[in-house]
Structure 1
Amino acid sequence: MLRIADTATGRLVEIPTGNRHLLRICVHLPVIDTGIGTAHLRAPLVGDVLARTAELHGLQALTVLTTPKLPPGQAHALDRVMAALGIHPPATVEAHEVTGSPGAPADVHLFAHGSETDAVEGVRIVVGSVSRALPDETGLDGSAALEDRDEEGAEEGADPLALRMLLLGQSYSSPVTVTRAGLAEARRALRHWRQQVADWAQEPSRPIPADLLRQAHAALADDLGVPAVLDMLVSLERDVDVPAGAKFETFAHLDRVLGLDLAREVGHQHRAMP
């Protein structure tokens, strides 16, 4: 059973209702005169995690994205930035007017913090606010999107998924402040986990620990408890009693929801030199 908290009532609601196996999700981007930045991308990210969780639990998910009418350049930039964050493309994208209907019928509607939610029917989720202690480099003007740097300011290989990991580390309803130090820490953690997964992949495969799998799926099904899943992976990595092959299978399986590309380095260490 997949449940999520309706912002309007504060109650956990089972979705989808009845015996249907299709979860319809509508993600709303508001009309913002200054452009769409990191704060607004959190709603599509949460929608992506919800869709991935539904699919992990045997449901089919269909996502619709509604946006204000954007110039072609900004629309293409929005597509690129969402792809960089690992957000699966929506089934359809619909433009809406300021005074128009804010989206298609859906089981769950996701809104950026501060958005108007009264004009829809279904479960309403307002994601927590996102503030930045550094310039927002996700602007949809064709500039370098989602670029992160180290604490000293020297540019390294950009990894937009560091922002995804930072945002996933907090409950979707909690406010998040994006700092340069936070992005650097997320980037280091991703680099470390990817190397660990690559190392574990060289060992014989072992089954995912049943208790951990059950706990992880239960956490995800109970209001998208992604932070709890991340904590489980931290503990699993340090558990010397779990075989490397089981750690690999667990990280690979849960990355279907996390979307952090944790298997990126698998096999790279054995590439033949030219």
Structure 2
Amino acid sequence: MKHQEKPPEENLTNLMEFVLLDFANVPYLQGFLFGVFLAIYIFMLMGNGIVFLITKLDPGLQTPMYYFLGNFSFLEICYVPVTLPRMLRNLCTQRRTISLVPCATQMCCGLVLGATECFLLVMMACDCYVAICNPLHYPLVISYKVCAQLVAGSWISGIPLRIGQTCQIFSLPFCGSNLINHFFCDIPPILKLACGDIFVNEMTVYIAAVLLIMVPFLLILVSYGKIISTILKLPSATSRAKAFSTCSSHLMVVVLFFGSSIITYLKPKASHSAGTDKVLSLFYTIVTPMFNPMIYSLRNKEVIIALRKFLCK
């Protein structure tokens, strides 16, 4: 990682607000983008809300797999409002300013919920691993109490590190410019505005990304390596197809979320591009939550049956 030092101490200003540029470079598309993102927001809330409800209410979905899925859908309902409502407000009013405290709060909430999503995806991979590789021990290993403890740990584990990381970043002095070339207050664009020696802060970002993104991703890869190995040893093609179908939905979400997150936070600083960071951020903040209900419902017969019963009621 390239050491970065910004020397202009005489140009330091005590910034009290920032300006989120988001789609300011395409003023002729503001109305269209507002309509698109509003539709995505409504669809995401309704889709994940329905998946959450049917996993809680349908008697046929009271299993550990659907317990994790319900919590994952609830997480997505919490995750997207961190960024999308303000983006919609900016597109509608053209007022793009955000003060220091709301910016720090937005970053902290996004980082905490992002860490929770990483851990929950690991828990879902472990559930899939035990179900396929050790089916006889599944009821003992993955009990309701264990599920509740794993989910609680997923929600809590990232909080101390992410709060400390946010406080560290916003304790930095900032240069004269207050323009954030991004949709929301994220780490890379905020660090671009910081003055002085930010090498320690960059190292902290990389270490946190390795611990909270890369390590969970590697655990999921190891789990799926063993899962695929076990599936290929199954005697019948029907059993193999059913096993692959059980895990393929989760794997699609993993690729979408972790792929964009790893590139954003772990790629070399020299290759950072505002345009690329914007596109990648859309994947892990909006695209994954939007496709989550479709991926899990359209590829899962039990969810489709429960959904039909729910809609009929």
Q: What's the TM-score once normalised by structure 2's chain length?
A: 0.22
Q: Give the number of the structure with larger relative contact order, counting CA–CA contacts within 8 Å between residues 6 or more apart.
A: 2
Q: Name the structure where strand makes up a greater proportion of residues.
A: 1
- Give the number of the structure whose alpha-carbon radius of gyration is greater: 2
